[in-house]
Amino acid sequence: MAKATDPQIHRNFIDGEWVDSQRGQTLENRNPANNDLIGTFPSSDQRDVEAAVEAARRAFRSWRLVPAPKRAEILFRAAERLVARKEELAREMTREMGKILVETRGDVQEAIDMTYYMAGEGRRQFGQTTPSELQKKFAMSVREPVGPCALITPWNFPMAIPSWKIMPALILGNTVVLKPGEDTPFSSCRLVEVLSEAGLPPGVVNLVAGLGADAGEPLVRHAGVKLASFTGSTETGRKISQICAAALKPCHLEMGGKNIIVVMDDANLDLALEGAVWGGFGTTGQRCTAASRIAVQKTVYREFVDRLTRRARALRVGDGLDPETEMGPLINRQQLETVTRYVAIGSEDGARLATGGHRLEGGAWDKGWFFEATVFADCDPKMRICQEEIFGPVVSVIPVDDYDSAIEVANGVGYGLSAAIYTRNVNRAFDAMRELEAGIVYVNAPTIGAETHLPFGGIKWTGNGHREAAVAALDFYSEWKTLYIDYSDRLQRAQIDTGAFGAKGE
């Protein structure tokens, strides 16, 4: 692929080659900080999907037979290449997606970690061996690949989230077709490029860029796709679930979040404040794990709100490539309009706008989608800004009487991805770990910061039970095959031949 120094024409990656879309239409990829044109990418449709799935089906026949340790060697080489190119890839991602360099370096690092981790699983795809109830019979289970996988990823983590899906699928012997977020296809293309350079055979990984309706939905519906994994909005996830259910096709959904930080009056307030700023305004609030709600015990509420307001007001907002910048732009005009609309809703519903609430304009801000770090105080937990995912730098602070009311507020939303509590009371911390309705719970840390060697995912409207990352990901991208080997040289009947020990012997 061409370097990212100038606008470039980019292509789909199908059967080991970068190829033009059969549709012939393109989408512009622009820097959200200054509207610079990064390049054009295909606006693919059903025909491109057909070609990619067919390539994945052909490649699966041989890739599934490659020993897992040999597949792992390719992933390990890919990880090494990611390490060598980390700074380059991070700077390209900041230019494409907008988040600050320290965060895009973390995004690339997460892809590195996941690739190394799954390379290790090439020698650790353990099954079970267990004693049979019959003599001269051996029983065990092994993992089997499923086939071509449809992977649909969002724009906010354009290298990390594709790696969460691609790497476990590959190490198990599956092939994949990736449809990246239309706002950030370039970083995903770079990841695919690295995998190809590391020696991945043609057709094992394919990438089709385009819109969800034109490329994503046909990919999920394709009869040659054996499972689908999606990260994105709850609305789209529900639709994908319905499509897959009709075809009895396994699907994995990672969707929205309305995450909370609970601050008790015995907390280290300095630490809780740092967590609130990072959790609420990191990635400009454009994370499914962002801490968009903070429930604070009333005895420390005013102090906490005042300090959070000052910190939010002081955040340096600008181009993520500037090392002084602490918060970058929103991804596009649509997201800016969404955040603006929710700020109006919050004010109309009676929340107190403590700081922020406006688009940043003037000077270097004029060409980008910049928005102030925004804090609403004195919020009722039933307000829309406390119930609905905004996906922007908007934090709602809710006063609570005590621990029990804080847990009630925390669990009083439809989502269940991530939650955090700040307290020095170990008994209360352990109780919260049990009572908080979330797939991920932090104690004395914000709601963001998941690591690749533990399962990632949520409950309720956030997910459908499957998990990304770690060994948990292997369970989604493989099928269990149970094997029985009878070496008695005669018919033995489980559950029927149950005589006393020795009665069914030699």
Tokens (6 digits) for 320 = 């993520």
Residue 365 φ/ψ, nearest 5 degrees: -75, -20
pLDDT of residue 129: 96
Catalytic residue among 254, 372, 389, 468: 254
Return per-residue pLDDT of the chain as tens, 506 residues: 444 455 689 999 999 999 999 999 999 999 999 999 999 999 999 999 999 999 999 999 999 999 999 999 999 999 999 999 999 999 999 999 999 999 999 999 999 999 999 999 999 999 999 999 999 999 999 999 999 999 999 999 999 999 999 999 999 999 999 999 999 999 999 999 999 999 999 999 999 999 999 999 999 999 999 999 999 999 999 999 999 999 999 999 999 999 999 999 999 999 999 999 999 999 999 999 999 999 999 999 999 999 999 999 999 999 999 999 999 999 999 999 999 999 999 999 999 999 999 999 999 999 999 999 999 999 999 999 999 999 999 999 999 999 999 999 999 999 999 999 999 999 999 999 999 999 999 999 999 999 999 999 999 999 999 999 999 999 999 999 999 999 999 999 999 987 655 444 44
Structure tokens belonging to residue 495: 């559950």
Q: Tell me the residue type at 279.
A: G
User: Going by DSSP bridges, is the β-strand pair 415-416/251-254 parallel, antiparallel, or unpaired?
Assistant: unpaired
| CA separation for the pair 456, 458 (Å, rounded) | 7
Residue pair 401/415 in contact (Cβ under 8 Å)? The answer is no
Catalytic residue status for 251: no
- The verdict on whether 254 is a catalytic residue reads yes
Is the pTM for the entire model greater than 0.85? yes
Q: Is the dihedral of CA 420, 422, 427, 428 positive or negative?
A: negative
Q: Which amino acid is at 35?
A: N
Bridge-partner residues for 297, per DSSP?
Answer: 400
The pLDDT score that the predictor gives to residue 501 is: 52
Q: Do you know the residue count of the chain?
A: 506
H-run or E-run covering 276: helix 269-281
> Is the Cβ–Cβ distance between 222 and 370 less than 8 Å?
no
Going from the N-terminus, what domains does the chain have, and what CATH number goes with each?
Answer: 10-255+463-482 (3.40.605.10), 260-443 (3.40.309.10)
Q: Considering 149, 189, 244, 288, which one is annotated as catalytic?
A: 288
Closest CA to 344 of 373, 294, 385, 389: 385
Phi-psi region of 394 (alpha: psi -120 to 50; beta: other; left: phi over 0): beta
Q: Is the dihedral of CA 106, 108, 114, 119 positive or negative?
A: negative
